[in-house]
Structure 1
Amino acid sequence: MKIAYIATYPPRECGIGTFTNNLYKSMLIDNKPKEQKREGFVVAINDNNLNYKYPEEVKSIIRQEYQEDYLKAVKYINLSGADVCILQHEFGILGGQSGVYILPLLHRLEIPLIVTLHTILKTPSYNEKAVLKEICKMAHKIVVMSHKAVEFLTNIYDVPKEKIALIEHGVPDIQFNPEKSKKKFKIENKKVLLTFGFIGRSKGIETVIKALPEVVKKFPELIYIVLGKTHPNVIRHSGEEYRIFLLRLVKNLQLENHVTFLNEFIDEQELFKYLYACDIYITPYLNEAQITSGTLSYAVGVGAAVLSTPYWHAVELLAKGRGRLFNFNDSDDLAKTLTGLLEHPEDLSELKNNAGEYGKKITWPKTGEKYVTLAEKTMKDEHSIVIQKEKELDLLILPPFSLAHIKRLTDDTGIIQHAKFGIPNLKEGYCLDDNSRALLMVLMAYQEMKDKRALELSPIYLSYIHYLQNADGTFRNFLSFNRSFLDEIGSEDSFGRTIWALGYLLGNAPNDAYYQTGKLVFFNAAPNFEKLKSIRGIANTMIGISYYLRSNPSDDSMTERLRNLANVLMKHYNENQATDWNWFESLLAYDNGILPLALLHSAQVLNDPKITETAIESMNFLTTHTLKDNYLSIIGNEKWYKKEGERSVFAQQPIDAMAMVLMYHQAYFVTKDKDYLNKLYTSFLWFLGENDLRMSLYDFETKGCCDGFESYGVNRNQGAESSLAYLISHLTVLQAYEEFHRSDLKLV
């Protein structure tokens, strides 16, 4: 069995790195015949561009905030011959927003995954919860170290209980003589209290210091050792502010002879000498939100008498007489407990014996074997590896269709274009693009579902379009919240999107009043159709004309306009098409699917085989670059993708996913090739987490859609453009599902 480990690793000074080093050594002890030999390697995570001199087992390095490193690492793992991967998860060691960079790595992993969770938050942020839930979905087994962690995973993160394994934190099997250890540190005549680990304000060390004056009155030989460096994150943000505060507190309480700070990160051999030398070990954390504590496990493991505040892990680990608890931030309670134990050595001895007996059960050799057993079971499980296959149209996993967020964004003027998270951002006002998309969406909703709420919204968006039209048939785009015009003429993209919505209205009008208003605005704009220069403005306009002509096929003048616009698009294609580059421009930019979609629509009306051929060629080219890994990877707007250059991954936006959904739907409508329905559905799942970041853009709480994702993670703002793109895509899936079942075909 060959095991890949992903985690921080020594010599990086990190508790999880130490954990991983112990896990690695304890799992790979070779006590079996040669044919069953265990081997492994480590993928180490670096921080802040620091370089470390790693041991030979580290075969790959991930720089925490460089997502390309995560993708290189997974390629290495997949080609390494590893049988199983074990990830140590802690939000602070992984890159991107809430550690999101690990998700693309895990998604591409081709071997079973075991994840050890070192932190499980009771009240996570939206992103923290979303990232951890996605990790748990992809993991075959999840290891936690306490019963409270199991409770949180099942109740808060909806993880099936059978997926969770409880394996307690391992403790090195290191033993020293307490008397000799005290003698080494020249504290043989002292009553020794000890706290070790990274130092930060949450550790509550001041609680112990404030308790000491009362204790040293009775035990003047007492000394409190604080062993550990200030946490690197604390150093970066606050320097040594907390340590200086503690030093001043010691001086003010005149405890200089009773408190010693050892500002160093020591190896385990030296650490265990201190643990054996101490009389009482203390973890005075300030709140309950600590699901796992390696320092506490070490103290119990060596059979120390332990005092702790009642944080989650301590309550479990110190039960049944293995330690004592005192109240959070309660120095008086701690002073009484310390004094009582020091006055009654028999009680102290009992705590040590109980802890020591338990510690024998959680040594690293035993813990390592539990991980080995779990890894072997995971490998043998025939269902452990999910084989990637073509996505099939399944309405059961779709969220219920909801207009809640759109209604939230809409007032009596129109739809507000932007939002702060799920709240309308009135400062940004309105735009023509979004009101046109909104009109299209509500008309589709009424057509598909006969949703009267959608029909009630449609006059708002139609009247906005009418209000923004200039006398020459062009349109303004932006309107402030106080209804002041912010431009004279909008973009050609906004013009084309408006014609698309109006054309759909003319082909699917719910009543005559809407039809007549739409017709008036549409034909006022018509003289501008052939003045368009932007190929996306042209493409959107072609789609609108095509919808109009389906219900008005005898309009020869409009048919000719459509043909002229299609020829412009074809000209662009012919000028830019080359070997391995079947596209309309020298780059793949934004809203790419709209271009093949426009040709597919016009081909249906014009019955031109050349247009159909070009539409299919360009669609296949786009598919090759965005759907090759069986999920939609949109060309990012960060840098786009220039011919013979590198494609941009980030700044992926929902309108691009919508264009792909619509493109494949129209391709199915034209060709009746059922493969396009599978591609349509795969593209739609981009919204629900089948994407490069493995994060859902749809917000199940607000019923809105996030504005896309950047290199750091999801942009949680839920503006009109993104939410409408999701809803139009959702409605298209519903329509495709009905069309498919009406055809009496079956998906493969």
Structure 2
Amino acid sequence: MTPLRRIAVIGNSLPRPCGIATYTTDLKNAISISRQDLETCIVAMTDRGQAYDYPPAVAFQIKDGNIEDYIRAADFLNAGRFDTVCLQHEFGIFGGEAGAHILVLLSRLALPVVTTFHTVLADPTPAQRTVMERIVEASVKVVVMAHKGRELLRDIYLVPDDKIEVIAHGIPDVAFATPDAAKAKLGFEQKSVILTFGLLSPNKGIEVMIDAMPSILKRCANAVYVVLGATHPNLVRNQGEAYRESLMARVRELGIDDHVVFFDRFADLATLLEFISMCDVYVTPYLNEAQMTSGTLAYSFGLGKPVVSTPYWHARELLADGCGVLVPFGDAAAIGNEIANLLTDDVRRQAMSRRAYAESRMMTWERVAERYLSVFENARHGHRLKVFARADRSLPEPRSPAPPDMQIGHFLSMCDDVGLFQHAVLSVPDRVHGYCVDDNARALLLACALNSPGEQPLSELLTSRFAAFVQHAWNPDTRQFRNFMGFNRTWLEDKGSEDSHGRTLWALGEAARKDTSPARRLWAAALFAQALSVAESFRSPRAWAFMLLGLDAYCAVAPDDIHAKEVRHSLAGRLMSCLASVETPDWVWFEEGLAYDNARLPQALILTGVATQTPQYLDGGLRSLRWLMTQQTSSAGHFRPVGTAGFGELRQPPHAFDQQPVEATATIAACLTAWRVDGDAEWKALATRAFGWFLGSNDLSVALVDPLTGSCRDGLHPDRANENRGGESVVCYLLGLAEMRQLARVNPILTRPTALRAVSA
């Protein structure tokens, strides 16, 4: 493989005044210096209403709220043939809910992404969690700057350990120096200087340090506290300088005006290094432990400064084993006591200073750049497979109606304290036919899908109800899932079909990856592993496909399960053998006939091909899905799912009726899966057409859904719609809707609102 030639870094950039801008600029410069033949540039995020005089290193600018800028940035990066993109992620710098606009860019990139997470939340909102998961999914590697970040990514977000790299925050490589020369230059001779620098905001705890000054002055009368930094721009935008003024008022109230100095500026690097050099003690009195990274802490530590800090995550790691001093959050007395101890003990202070400098040598930007370049090289080798199989773009970019709102009223009416009913008489739940694990597994999949940004998650009670149904369906005697249960809560069989078992494994895999409850994720993973072994003997290709869909999720959260990896290859190999034994130029399929949930077979191969880096799986999935779409498109150009009347016929064109929602939903998911790895916009057009079937773009021009309740008719007969609205139909519609709503969020320019055709009587 040729050496790396071009690297792009996405993030804020100087002269924008913020820590991410400083880090992005420093990282870009360090990489440039490390390899003279390496081209580097920055794609800079610009906040609302602002303009910056960016240097030439900024090759592209994205206004954070402008979707089209994200799209153009992706086109710029793809056209520029960059080897790797390094994304700097922090909540608050990208547009959209929880910064979801960045997904628009990532979804369009055809090159490997390495993401640096500056913050990893231990308790994210559903929207934050989904955005994080989508970014992880789009990234070949993710970087954090503290081992706590690795722990959270692994335990909270279920990121495989081998996907995570810990690279310390970079620091300037400057010679060790005592404070005297810098003090003389800055006018602080004969002073004991305590320093805090960075953008001012209430979470920094400056007021706590101010309250500590009187006790420090009692023991060290020449002490002065220097606060270097402008107020955070977002705070100025919303509140002006009220926070800074409140700090200054507190100083006056305590009568320590001569001992607290504010420098209201965003300092350049040279000025910053001078201020750090002159301090005797550096202090970070932050109020929140969930501070994954602190550039101010790293820089001060790297210049050999004794640090007194509250025990936020980064400080706990960096200052361990006597490299600094930790004090409780918000405790002015403790901060004052520890700082006074250091200022009055020259031997201890100087020893801590020399130790900090020695411990930080591996954090210099030169070393950090070396680590990043190694990660970039690995990312190129591990980049997900992309198959741009044909240049023909026969379908235009879809400009489709915006998908309807997510309404779950009918879905809720189809549930009781056991789970989801199978059938309905018109829109009334039909208790006669009870329940099945098939539909409750689909409902658990829906619960996972509704944890996406912009959606309202199902209630904890309802999600746990579906999980409980699946758990109760497990029969430890047969080691299979039962399927049908009567309304009297009596199981009607000892074990269900292979397909229902496979579908339940699929739901468990997704729950293990996407459920909002950590305990339920553990439950799902454990039951998945338990139920997988018996399924290895199954003979149904659809069961294999459902299991592969579940394995795609499960293997992401259990990367060390060797048995699961072996089963995944075995099942994919069986599907490929079926395809090889049946396929002819005009029948590119796995079986002699078409049946139900057809698109799940190629979808399973596509996902498995990407996950296992097996090109033949990916090619087989894309090839068979393209052929299937030729069979599911009417002469008028709309989507026509395989009709049930043709099930079992050998090598015959599919019958037009009866058409069922499960086919449309499977097709939407498979086509969008193909689009994400293939990059062909035709797949998005085909998914949009399949979803249009629900809305009335079908053989009868009849809408199957009621947009006010979210109900869905059970299908199309040759002359009418099936007016019953059962559990399978409503879940299939909502699953398809969730996919299209996510597509609209990452491609909003492709949608425009139009009226939804009313449901006919």
| Partner Cα distance (1:135, 1:654) in 2 | 31
Q: 1:292 to 1:9 in 2, by over 3 A?
A: same
Question: What is the TM-score with the length of structure 2 in the denominator?
Answer: 0.56
CA distance in 2, matches of 1:654, 1:316: 52
SS of aligned partner of 2:42: strand
Partner in structure 1 of residue 150 of structure 2: 150
Residue 17 of structure 1, aligned match among 7, 18, 21: 21
Query: Hey, what's the Cα distance between the residues in 1 that align with 2:712 and 2:108?
Result: 25
Residue aligning to 2:229 = 228
The match for 1:387 is: 386
Q: Give 1:387's aligned amino acid.
A: K
Name whichever of 161-170 and 241-250 sits farther off: 241-250
3-state SS, counterpart of residue 282 of structure 2:
strand
Residue pair 1:303, 1:355 contacting (<8 A) in 2 also:
yes
1:684-707 residue CA offsets vs partner (Å, 9 max, x unmatched): 677458953688xxxxxxxxxxxx
Q: Do the aligned partners of 1:661 and 1:684 also contact (CA within 8 Å) in 2?
A: no
Q: Do the aligned partners of residues 452 and 4 (structure 1) sit closer, same or farther apart at CA in structure 2, a change above 3 Å counting?
A: farther
- Inter-partner Cα distance in structure 2 for 1:188 and 1:405: 76
Q: Which amino acid aligns with 1:87?
A: L
Structure 2: 5+ residue runs without aligned partners? 390-409, 430-449, 461-481, 491-633, 647-652, 690-705, 719-731, 752-756
Distance 1:404 1:389 in 2: 42
Q: Which residue of 2 aligns with 1:565?
A: none
1:652-708: CA deviations, max 9, x gaps?
x999x9999989x99xxxxxxxxxxxxxx999677458953688xxxxxxxxxxxxx
Task: Tell me, in whole angstroms, the C-alpha distance in 2 between the residues paired with 1:331 and 1:600.
Answer: 71
Q: Which residue of 2 aligns with 1:28?
A: 32
Report the CA distance shift for 1:354/1:404 in structure 2 as closer, same or farther (over 3 A). Answer: farther
Aligned residue for 1:142, secondary structure, equals: strand
In the superposition, relative to structure 1, how do residues 599 and 359 fare at CA in structure 2: closer, same or farther (>3 Å)?
A: closer
**Cα RMSD for the two superposed structures:** 4.6
Q: CA deviation at 1:385?
A: 2.4
Aligned counterpart, 1:7:
11
Alpha carbons of 1:153 and 1:682: their partners in 2 closer, same or farther (altered >3 Å)?
Answer: farther
- Offset at 1:173? 2.1
> Where does 1:534-683 land on structure 2 (aligned, <5 Å)?
596=638, 629=681, 631-632=683-684
Amino acid at match of 1:284: P
Q: Which residue of 2 aligns with 1:292?
A: 293
Query: Under a length normalisation based on structure 1, what TM-score does the superposition of the two structures give?
Result: 0.57
Return the alpha-carbon distance in structure 2 between the equivalents of residues 187 and 146 of structure 1. 34
The answer to whether the Cα contact below 8 Å between 2:34 and 2:370 also exists between their aligned partners in 1 is no
Question: Offset of 1:345 from its aligned partner?
Answer: 0.8
- Deviation of residue 30 (structure 1)? 5.4
Say yes or no: does 1:407 pair with 2:405: no
1:96 aligned residue: 96
Offset of residue 359 of structure 1: 2.2
- In structure 2, C-alpha distance between the alignment counterparts of 1:346 and 1:95, rounded to whole Å: 50
- The aligned residue for residue 586 of structure 2 is none
- Change in Cα spacing, 1:389 to 1:212, as seen in structure 2 (3 Å) is same
Q: Separation in 2 of the partners of 1:148 and 1:211?
A: 29
8 A contact 1:631–1:691 mirrored in 2 = no
- Relative distance call for 1:89 and 1:654 in structure 2 (3 A) is farther
Q: How does 1:363-374 map to 2 (within 5 A)?
A: 363-374=364-375
How has the CA–CA distance of structure 1 residues 693 and 271 changed in structure 2, closer, same or farther, with 3 Å as cutoff? Answer: farther
Q: CA deviation at 1:377?
A: 2.1
Amino acid at match of 1:137: E
Secondary structure of residue in 2 paired with 1:131 = helix
Equivalent position SS for 2:330: coil
Q: 1:224 to 1:280 in 2, by over 3 A?
A: same
- TM superposition shift of 1:629: 2.7
Equivalence for 2:135: 135
Q: Is 1:405–1:422's contact at 8 Å kept on the other side of the alignment?
A: no
Equivalent residues in 2 for 1:221-370, closer than 5 Å = 221-370=222-371
Alpha-carbon spacing, 1:26–1:660, altered in 2? closer, same or farther (3 Å) = farther
Q: 1:453 to 1:127 in 2, by over 3 A?
A: farther
Residues 451, 239 of structure 1: CA spacing in aligned structure 2 closer, same or farther, 3 A cutoff?
Answer: farther
In the TM superposition, what is the alpha-carbon distance from 1:450 to its structure 2 partner? 5.2
Q: Which amino acid aligns with 1:154?
A: R
Retained in 1: the 8 A contact 2:281–2:343? no
Deviations for 1:274-333, whole angstroms, at most 9, x for unmatched residues? 000000000000121101111100110110111000011000001122110111111111
- How many pairs are equivalent? 483
Judged with a 3 Å threshold, the aligned counterparts in structure 2 of structure 1 residues 270 and 214 are, in CA distance, closer, same or farther, namely: same
Q: CA separation of 1:689/1:350 partners in 2, compared to 1, >3 Å: closer, same or farther?
A: farther
Answering whether residue 696 of structure 2 is matched by residue 692 of structure 1, we say: no
Segments of 5+ residues of structure 1 without an aligned counterpart are 391-401, 425-447, 457-591, 637-652, 667-680, 696-708, 714-720, 722-748
Change (3 A) 1:599 1:242: closer
Q: Given the superposition, is the C-alpha separation of residues 87 and 25 from structure 1 closer, same or farther in structure 2, using an over 3 Å criterion?
A: same
Report the 3-state secondary structure (helix = DSSP H, G, I; strand = E; otherwise coil) of the residue aligned with 1:29: helix
Quick one: distance in 2 between partners of 1:110 and 1:348?
52
Shift, 1:226, TM fit: 0.7
Distance 1:454 1:155, change over 3 A: farther
Q: Secondary structure at the match of 2:258?
A: coil
- Partner residue of 1:120? 120
One-letter amino acid matched to 1:384: H
The DSSP-based 3-state class of the residue aligned with 1:72 is helix
**Given that residues 179 and 280 in structure 2 are in contact (C-alpha distance below 8 angstroms), is that contact kept between their aligned partners in structure 1?**
no
Between the two structures, name the one with larger relative contact order (CA 8 Å, sep ≥ 6): 2
Instruction: Provide the rounded CA distance (Å) in 2 between the counterparts of 1:309 and 1:630.
Output: 54
| Bigger radius of gyration among the two | 1
Return the offset for 1:361: 1.6
Partner amino acid, structure 1, of 2:333: D
Give the % identical residues: 33
Q: 1:132 to 1:660 in 2, by over 3 A?
A: farther
Once the two structures are superposed, residues 432-477 of structure 1 have per-residue CA deviations (whole angstroms, 9 ceiling, x without a partner) of: xxxxxxxxxxxxxxxx975646999xxxxxxxxxxxxxxxxxxxxx
